[in-house]
Amino acid sequence: DEELGSDLGSVTQAIKGLLAAARDRRDVPVIFTTMAYDASQSDLPVVTRLKTPHSRNMIRGSDRVRLIAELERRDDEALVEKPRASAFFNTNLLSILVSKKIDTVVVTGCSTSGCIRSTCESALDYGFHAIVPEEAVGDRCASAHVANLFDINARYADVLPLAEVLAHLKRDIRDEAA
């Protein structure tokens, strides 16, 4: 069985900074995602099992699909369970964003070459402006990470330095207070 793994400690820290900035605002919803399948695996297609064998261990409710504790998800922050790489595919994410009149999404997490890229493609397809804070995404393969950040920025979303995204979130807060 092929297992995936990588050190995403710095990515987690970057995401925590973004979460703090977003939580300081009333107009920025925080939405988490995870991939999960039924224990029976009846909802796990054969091709997915073949291409991503680790998906067999991504059982709903198991430790493999739980959010990491460091992110400190709050009760009012949605958790979207997704069956594929894109957070939009076969989920209620689009409904959540539309109901909140959101036009821009900040995409973070892993993996840059899979879930991040796929979510950015879908965001563009649905007419959202997607932003990827460069330090808040990671991948198990450094070259795939770099190549996909290049492609994402060229085609689907704006890849920006974390500091720029944080400054924008904080600037809007200061502007609202003035």
pLDDT tens-digit series, residues 76-113: 999 999 999 999 999 999 999 999 999 999 999 999 99
Q: Is residue 53 part of a domain?
A: yes
User: For residue 66, what is the domain's CATH number?
Assistant: 3.40.50.850
List phi, psi (to 5°) of 70.
-60, -25
Please write the tens of the pLDDT for every residue from 35-66. 999 999 999 999 999 998 989 999 999 999 99
Q: Which residues of 14-50 are buried (b: 16+ CB within 10 A; e: fewer)?
A: bbebbbebbeeeeebbbbbbbbbbeeeeeebeeebee
Q: Contact at 8 Å (CB) between 161 and 168?
A: no
Q: Is residue 3 part of a domain?
A: no
Q: Is residue 4 part of a domain?
A: no
Q: Contact at 8 Å (CB) between 82 and 89?
A: yes
Q: Contact at 8 Å (CB) between 37 and 60?
A: yes
Q: Is residue 2 part of a domain?
A: no
Q: Contact at 8 Å (CB) between 98 and 104?
A: no
Q: Is residue 1 part of a domain?
A: no
Structural domain including 76 reads 9-177
Just list the catalytic residues: 115
